[in-house]
Structure 1
Amino acid sequence: MKAVVIYRPGGPDELILEERPVPQIKKGWSRVKIKGFGVNHSEIFTRKGLSPGVGFPRVLGIECVGVIDATTDPVRLPEGQKVISIMGEMGRAFDGSYEEYALIPNEQIYPVVTGLSWENLAAVPETYYTAYGSMLNLRIGSSDEVLVRGAASGVGVAFARLLRAQYGNLRLTGTSRSLNKSGYLKNVGYDEVIQDRDGRLQTPRSYDRILELIGPATLHDSFSHTKPGGIVCSTGELGGVWNIDLEPIQELPANGYLTSFYSGNVSEEKVNEMLAFIEERHVNAAPERVFSLENVADAHRYLEGGNSFGKAVVLCGE
């Protein structure tokens, strides 16, 4: 089979396409024939050597969609079953999805029922699931003013599409470091785009709900733009900062709340609930860019570039 392997930390050129034996199943693990996967910023962090505890060589990739090719759980995961996998230690403690066949622990494989194409389904697991869980945790009402910090990211685009399917007329504002992306953001559902400059929002306004995708790097500033009784959901870490020094009594909005969500908070039930939401409400889950396995390095370059927008996916095989 073909696999993209990284032998040492570095740039996209360290992602090497090579031939490898198809992995053999073992107790508690099943083999998935990969049909596609999304490319994520966390994989870029790992590629650069910034993920603690990850050794090399490694096949990266924290999510995938595909079918069961060989199983050790024929009742729950019969051969031919359509599945997705998200997070766990995939692509970190063991080889991930940047290959044509992946060996994955059974408890980390989720059987799904969906009519989405492989291309659209590949854009969903990590990105739409994260956006969906964040939307639920924000407890949004139809009259709330909502801000998404890091709106041009894959999760930011997915969140806008999901929210529009739930609340057609809600006021939704997005942030971007570059206002050149304003047209793209308005096309996916944002009413307004404001600039995020040097970690500060270039507006005096406050919001009922804030989805924080930049993370600890800008969380203090987000608190200062949250209305009393508002909710901030800290979901992403696009700012490259993982921890925050917080004085909650002084910094949290009056009578407000701080919550969080990440794709490791996953269940088979919620995954299928999300897929049903997307299909029943006709949410556009199409990725912005599609690459082949041979061009994974180009997908990394695209995601790191200043002009990236939305979700990039890789399709494998037939």
Structure 2
Amino acid sequence: MQAVVIKEAGGPEKLIYTTVPTPQVKPGWSLVKIKGFGINHSEIFTRQGLSPSVKFPRILGIECVGVIAATTDSQRLPVGQKVVSIMGEMGRAFDGSYAEYVLLPNAQIYPVTTGLDWKTLATVPETYYTAYGSMLNLRLTSNDDILVRGATSGVGVAFLNLVKACYPGIRVAGTTRNPAKQDLLLNQGFDDVIVDHKGELQTDRKFTKVLELIGPATVKNSFKHTRAGGIVCSTGELGNQWYLPRFDPIMDIAPNAYLTSFYSGNVDGVKLNHMLHLIEGKHIVAKPSKVFRLDQVAAAHTFLEGRHSFGKVIVLL
């Protein structure tokens, strides 16, 4: 099969398109023929050597959509079944989705019932599931005033689309560290755009709910813009910082407010299918900002790292 293999940490040029043996099924694992997958910032971190647990050589890729090609669970995962896989240790402890086929633990393969085409479905798993779980944890109401910190990311755009579909008329502001992207955010549907300059929001506004996608690098500043009794959901780590140093919950959390989080590794098959049905039922337009081929994965990484990246980047096979 064709795959993209990385043998040592480095830049996008380390992602080599080559031929490798097609994996063979083993007890408790099934083979998925990949139809598409998203490119994620965490894969860029891994490529750069910033994931200590990942050993090279490795086929990266933490998500995919496709069909069962060979199975060890014919009842739940019959050959031809449309499936989604997210997270677990794919692309980390074992080879992932940057390939024509991927061998996955059965417990990490989720059968889905959906009429979405492959391009749309490939845009959804990691990005929309993360946004959907975060939306539920924020306990939104139609009266909320929402801030998305890191709004130009794929999860930020997905969250906006889900929220606007479920709560028509609700106001959602988005942040960007690049002022040149303000028009992109407004055209996407954000009601307001706030510039994030060196981790400080250039506004005095406060919000009832904050989706924090920059992560520990800006959580404390986000609470300065959270109303009493509000909720901050820390979901992303786009700020390349994993921990909160010198964090005093009593002083740093806004008065009577709440800090929660969502992690896309907490996958629930029922919740995943519910999200897909919501996208179909609400006619949510889930489309990628850019589509690449398998032999263009290195170019996809370059694009996602660039200043002009916006939204979700996918690869279709």
**Fold match by TM threshold 0.5:** yes
Q: Retained in 2: the 8 A contact 1:5–1:15?
A: yes
Which range moved further: 37-46 or 165-174?
Answer: 165-174
Which amino acid letter does the alignment assign opposite residue 261 of structure 1?
A: F
Q: Deviations over 1:263-282 (max 9, x none)?
A: 10111101001001100000
The one-letter code matched in structure 2 to 1:297 is: A
1:41-100 per-residue CA deviation (whole Å, 9 max, x = no partner) reads: 000000000012100000000000000000000000000000000000000000000000
Kept after mapping to 2: 8 A contact 1:179/1:193:
no
Kept in 2: contact 1:175–1:193 (CA 8 A): yes
1:22 aligned to 2:30?
no
Counterpart-to-counterpart distance in 1, 2:222 and 2:98: 35
- Matched residue, 2:252: 251
Alignment of 1:10-49 (within 5 A): 10-49=10-49
Alpha-carbon deviations, 1:170-229, whole Å to 9, x = none?
A: 111000011211222122220000100000100011100000000000011001110000
Q: Which amino acid letter does the alignment assign opposite residue 8 of structure 1?
A: E
Question: Which ranges in structure 2 are unaligned for 5 or more consecutive residues?
Answer: none
| CA drift at 1:305 | 0.2
Matching of residues 159-170 of structure 1 within 5 Å: 159-170=159-170
TM-score of the superposed pair, with normalisation by structure 1: 0.99
Partner residue of 1:187? Answer: 187
- Confirm whether residue 59 of structure 1 aligns to residue 30 of structure 2: no
1:195-210 equivalences in 2 (<5 Å) = 195-210=195-210
Matched, 1:131 2:137: no
Q: In 2, distance between residues paired with 1:314 and 1:268?
A: 23
Encode CA deviations 1:258-314: one digit per residue, 9 max, x unaligned. 000011011110100100110000011111100000000000000000000000000
- Distance in 1, matches of 2:59 and 2:316, equals 16
Structure 1 match to 2:240: 240
Mapped to 1, the partners of 2:102 and 2:178 lie a distance apart of 38
1:161 aligned partner, one-letter code: N
Q: Which residue pairs with 1:148 in the alignment?
A: 148
Alpha-carbon distance in structure 1 between the residues aligned to 2:297 and 2:14: 11
Distance in structure 2 (CA, Å) of the matches to 1:80 and 1:71: 10
- Secondary structure of the equivalent of 1:298? helix
State the distance in 2 between where 1:52 and 1:278 align: 36
Q: Name the counterpart of 1:285.
A: 286
Give the match for residue 173 of structure 2: 173
CA distance in 1, matches of 2:268, 2:170: 29
Encode CA deviations 1:7-53: one digit per residue, 9 max, x unaligned: 00000000001111111000000000000000000000000000121
- For 2:222, the equivalent position in structure 1 comes to 222
| Alignment pair present for 1:75 and 2:75 | yes
Amino acid at match of 2:99: E
Q: Give the Cα–Cα distance (whole angstroms) in 2 for the partners of residues 243 and 177 of structure 1.
A: 21
- Amino acid in structure 2 at the alignment position of 1:101: Y
C-alpha separation in 2, matches of 1:286 and 1:250: 41
CA–CA distance in 1 between the matches of 2:252 and 2:209?
Answer: 16
Aligned CA RMSD, in angstroms, stands at 0.6
Find the aligned partners of 1:306 and 1:297 in 2 and give their Cα distance. 16
Superimposed CA distance per residue, residues 121-162 of structure 1 (whole angstroms, 9 cap, x where no aligned partner)? 001000000000000000011111100000000000000000
* 1:274 equivalent in alignment to 2:275: yes
The equivalent of 1:260 in structure 2 is: 261
Give the whole-Å Cα distance in 2 for the aligned partners of 1:74 and 1:183: 50
Query: Which letter maps to 1:87?
Result: M
> Structure 2 counterpart of 1:89, which letter?
E
Mean Cα deviation higher: 64-73 or 177-186: 177-186
Correspondence list, 1:277-316, <5 A: 277-316=278-317
Describe the SS at the equivalent of 2:65. strand
Residues in 1 aligned to 2:231 and 2:291: alpha-carbon distance in whole angstroms: 35
> Which stretches in structure 1 are left out of the alignment for 5+ residues?
none
Instruction: Assess if the C-alpha contact under 8 Å between 1:206 and 1:227 holds in 2.
Output: yes
Output the amino acid matched with 2:210.
Answer: I
